[in-house]
């Protein structure tokens, strides 16, 4: 957990830096990280990007109601979309929940219209984020 916590703060830390921070051998850090990668706990390494600075200033939360037999197929298609950041299979009024980022309303409109065109999609409900209070892709492992 300590290694994961350090990597979450800075994935560019070297094995040597992690070993020094934790007071263990470099080989120990290497072996533990390798095990975390092989077991799928660490899926990859990616920078945390400010999408708004890249022109994706519109975030939408989209509930999707779909016919039962089509849900998995629809989820896969949505997940392949470049705008969908998160796709969840959920309980409740909607079957699928999507968090997506867009450049503007027209970009969002195209996406929602595309969603509605998918075979098996019955309806969508889109909420636009007015202000981001917290947007953190990392879960604290120290609490």
Please tell me if the domain spanning 1-39 has the same topology as the one spanning 51-129: no
Enter the tokens of residue 32: 């533990």
Q: Hey, is 132 helix, strand or coil?
A: coil
CATH code that applies to domain 1-39: 1.10.10.10
Ramachandran bin of 69, using left for φ above 0, alpha for ψ from -120 to 50, beta for the remaining angles = alpha
pTM for the model stands at: 0.85
Q: Hey, is 69 helix, strand or coil?
A: helix
Nearest to 61 by CA among 79, 80, 81, 87: 87
Q: Which residues of the chain have pLDDT under 70?
A: 143
Check: CB of residue 111 under 8 Å from CB of residue 102.
Answer: yes
Nearest to 61 by CA among 117, 122, 135: 135
Give me the CATH topology for the region 51-129. Alpha-Beta Plaits (3.30.70)
pLDDT tens for each residue of 104-140: 999 999 999 999 999 999 999 999 999 999 998 888 8
Check: CB of residue 55 under 8 Å from CB of residue 107.
Answer: no
């Amino acid at each position: 957990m300590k290694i994961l916590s350090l990597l979450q703060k800075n994935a560019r830390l070297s094995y040597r830096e992690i070993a020094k921070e934790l007071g263990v051998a470099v080989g120990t850090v290497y072996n533990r990280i390798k095990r975390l990668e092989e077991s799928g706990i660490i899926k990859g390494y990616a920078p945390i990007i400010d999408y708004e600075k890249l022109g994706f200033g519109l975030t939408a939360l989209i509930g999707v109601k779909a016919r039962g037999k089509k849900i998995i197929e629809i989820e896969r298609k949505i997940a392949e979309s470049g705008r969908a950041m998160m796709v969840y299979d959920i309980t409740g009024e909607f079957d699928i929940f999507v968090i997506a980022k867009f450049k503007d309303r027209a970009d969002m409109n195209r996406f929602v219209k595309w969603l509605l065109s998918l075979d098996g999609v019955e309806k969508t409900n889109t909420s636009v984020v007015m202000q981001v209070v917290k947007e953190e892709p990392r879960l604290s492992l120290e609490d």
